[in-house]
């Protein structure tokens, strides 16, 4: 069994509940609960599982709960475990692995593209607007308070690499606040696309996906002629412009250009300033 607390701000507390249920035919008798190492703690006052607790199958008393707290006081990745003894010969003791990460501030979303709006939540940012750097590139600041920042990604970064996010408060002498590997730039990701189309057909076709960016890119049809790669540009009718659809669940509308022979040897590609993604495509008669 496992409880993952994810990312939690340093100095704050996150609680999760683990349930033990008797699914057998006889009584399950719990024994000693061995506590995990800090920064994980068992909240015994809120837990209903105790040493000597008898769980009777098939009724209200068939289960009990153990409340576990994660209280990071430093940044970093933490792991631990706790065990619960029982009279179950198949699983004695019951072992639960714990994991969590203490962070200086929360980054949402943790991946995106050009035009993605990033929200930072924490404390100690200062009331006056400072600077935020993502992988060494400045974030365009849209909102700034002492506990939250909202900014837009305007610079291309190498794809699929986790970059540090650094907050520099404006106050004189204030040290930077860093969260390592907190944001990753992603290339276009096609999740749904037409399998075929007719050359010169004015009917719009739709590509759905993520990380298209809010900077209009291109839709291309690639094919080989005599071993040479050829490319034809499709007419793009619409492209995501708002930060949300530019990052997730975006749609691109396009039409198939004229002059393409029927066949299956085509590649439909979506490309922007960050990268590209492609799927097979067929030109039908």
Q: What is the pLDDT of residues 186-225, one digit of tens each?
A: 999 999 999 999 999 999 999 999 999 999 999 999 999 8
Q: Count CA atoms closer than 13 A to 217's CA, side-chain side.
A: 26
- The whole-number pLDDT of residue 116 equals 97
Based on the number of CB atoms within 10 Å of its own CB, is 36 exposed (0-12), middle (13-18) or buried (19 or more)?
buried
Q: What is the assigned CATH class of domain 2-103?
A: mainly beta
- Check: CB of residue 179 under 8 Å from CB of residue 104: yes
71-122 tens-digit pLDDT: 999 999 999 999 999 998 888 899 999 999 999 999 999 999 999 999 999 9
pLDDT per position as a tens digit, 131-161: 999 999 999 999 999 999 999 999 999 999 9
Q: How far apart are CA 168 and CA 151, in angstroms?
A: 14
For residue 64, give Cα distances in angstroms to 20, 46, 51, 67, 69. 6, 11, 12, 10, 17
Confidence (pTM): 0.84
Domain parsing of the chain, residue ranges? 2-103, 106-185, 189-284
CA atoms within 13 A on the CB side of 80: 20
Mean pLDDT of all residues belonging to the chain: 95
Same fold, 106-185 and 189-284: yes
Burial level of 210, CB count in 10 A (0-12/13-18/19+)? buried
Instruction: Please name the fold of domain 189-284.
Output: Immunoglobulin-like (2.60.40)
The burial of 112, by beta-carbon neighbours within 10 Å (0-12 exposed, 13-18 middle, 19 or more buried), is given as buried
Q: What is the DSSP letter of 247?
A: H
Quickly state the pLDDT bin for 25 (edges 50, 70, 90): confident
Pairing of strands 111-112, 228-233: unpaired
Percent of the chain exceeding pLDDT 70 equals 100
DSSP 43-83: ETTT----TT-EE-TTSGGGEEEEEEEE--SSSEEEEEEEE
Beta bridge partners of 131: 168
Q: Classify 94 as helix, strand or coil.
A: strand
The count of other CB atoms within 10 Å of the CB of residue 25 is 7
So what's the architecture of 106-185 in CATH? Sandwich (2.60)
What pLDDT score does 91 carry? 85
């Amino acid at each position: 069994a496992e409880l993952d607390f994810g990312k939690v701000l340093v100095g704050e507390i996150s609680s999760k509940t683990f349930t033990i249920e008797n699914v057998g035919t006889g009584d399950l008798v719990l024994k000693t609960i061995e506590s995990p190492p800090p920064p994980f703690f068992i909240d015994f006052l809120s837990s209903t599982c105790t040493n000597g607790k008898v769980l009777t199958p098939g009724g209200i008393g068939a289960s009990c709960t153990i409340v576990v707290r994660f209280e990071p006081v430093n940044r970093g990745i933490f792991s631990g475990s706790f065990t619960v003894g029982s009279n179950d010969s198949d699983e004695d003791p019951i072992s639960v692995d714990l994991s969590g990460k203490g962070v200086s501030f929360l980054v949402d979303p943790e991946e995106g593209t050009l035009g993605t709006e990033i929200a930072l939540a924490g404390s100690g940012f200062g009331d006056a607007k400072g600077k935020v750097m993502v992988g060494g590139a400045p974030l365009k600041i849209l909102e700034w308070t002492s506990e939250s920042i909202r900014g837009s990604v305007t610079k291309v970064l190498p794809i699929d690499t986790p970059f540090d996010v650094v907050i520099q408060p404006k106050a004189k002498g204030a040290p930077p606040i860093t969260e390592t590997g907190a944001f990753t730039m992603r290339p276009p990701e096609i999740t749904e696309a037409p399998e075929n189309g007719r050359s010169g057909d004015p009917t719009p076709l739709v590509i759905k996906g993520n990380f298209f960016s809010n900077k209009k890119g291109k839709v291309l049809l690639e094919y080989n002629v005599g071993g040479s790669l050829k490319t034809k540009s499709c007419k793009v009718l619409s492209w995501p412009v708002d930060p949300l659809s530019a990052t997730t669940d975006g749609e691109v509308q396009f039409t198939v250009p004229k002059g393409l022979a029927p066949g299956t040897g085509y590649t439909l590609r979506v490309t922007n300033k960050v990268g590209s993604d492609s799927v097979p495509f067929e030109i039908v008669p």
